[in-house]
Structure 1
């Protein structure tokens, strides 16, 4: 199975706002290892998270900049961009744009579906770009 293609497809579907299509690529027993407060670390919670993201950032785009696949895992460096046009996790709309980096690891089951995810996102940078946290003073 071509896990690199499946991983790229997850980002394409989310970027298109097709959270249900993304869900088709996710195993029913999926486990989310990234902490997304307020969302269950399972398939349903992850789909809810991306519905909230695409609602808050309707122009959200996830662009794969690097992707490495080996065995049952794939790792990607992804650029996430979007404009904050709706409430997200209690944060009122700012109208500001964000542009951050993500690192994602996905593990695939025997059917080729994503069954586990680990991720790191530069949320501090996003909060600074949205004007919610001041930029650090130069050293």
Structure 2
């Protein structure tokens, strides 16, 4: 597949994620996807992947990505931007706050035969927790 086709697949996957459209997402994600996301360093298979997506959608029902950079090389696509949403559901044990949050995100997705087979996503969890009012203590 071309670099532009790989970018399109990845961007369509994020659009589906932002809409909470699991069925569309399943057409773009390989059944044996592996990866790492906020709160989980060992994501394996579509069930785990979509469990994470559903958790984020429940916590931020209006959440969406805005990407400043979309870079493709070989079979990898890097997206860099922000995730923005209103905290309306529980997130990692934190009850809904009603606060709107914006935090930076960087993702690396690997595409093979038109499907995302690896996803490595990191959000600025420290900024997110601060915006949610979580007290961070580093013992310093």
Q: 1:29 aligns with which of 32, 50, 59?
A: 32
Deviation at 1:39, TM superposition (A): 7.8
Deviation at 1:54, TM superposition (A): 0.5
Deviation at 1:131, TM superposition (A): 0.9
What residue is the counterpart of 1:99 in the other structure?
Answer: 102
CA distance in 2, matches of 1:99, 1:125: 8
What residue is the counterpart of 1:74 in the other structure?
Answer: 77
CA distance in 1, matches of 2:135, 2:22: 29
Q: 2:116 aligns with which of 110, 114, 117?
A: 114
What residue is the counterpart of 2:9 in the other structure?
Answer: 6
* TM-score, structure 1 as length reference: 0.88
- 1:81–1:114: structure 2 CA closer, same or farther, 3 Å change rule? same
**Structure 1 runs of 4+ with >4 Å offset:** none
Unaligned runs of 5+ in 1: 135-139
* TM-score, structure 2 as length reference: 0.87
What residue is the counterpart of 2:50 in the other structure?
Answer: 47
CA distance in 2, matches of 1:35, 1:123: 7
**Bigger strand fraction:** 2
- 1:51–1:31: structure 2 CA closer, same or farther, 3 Å change rule? same
Q: Tell whether the 8 Å contact from 1:99 to 1:126 is kept in structure 2 after alignment.
A: yes
CA distance in 2, matches of 1:23, 1:72: 19
Aligned length: 135
What residue is the counterpart of 1:137 in the other structure?
Answer: none
Q: Tell whether the 8 Å contact from 1:28 to 1:43 is kept in structure 2 after alignment.
A: yes
Unaligned runs of 5+ in 2: none
Q: What SS is found at the alignment partner of 1:108?
A: strand
Deviation at 1:35, TM superposition (A): 5.4
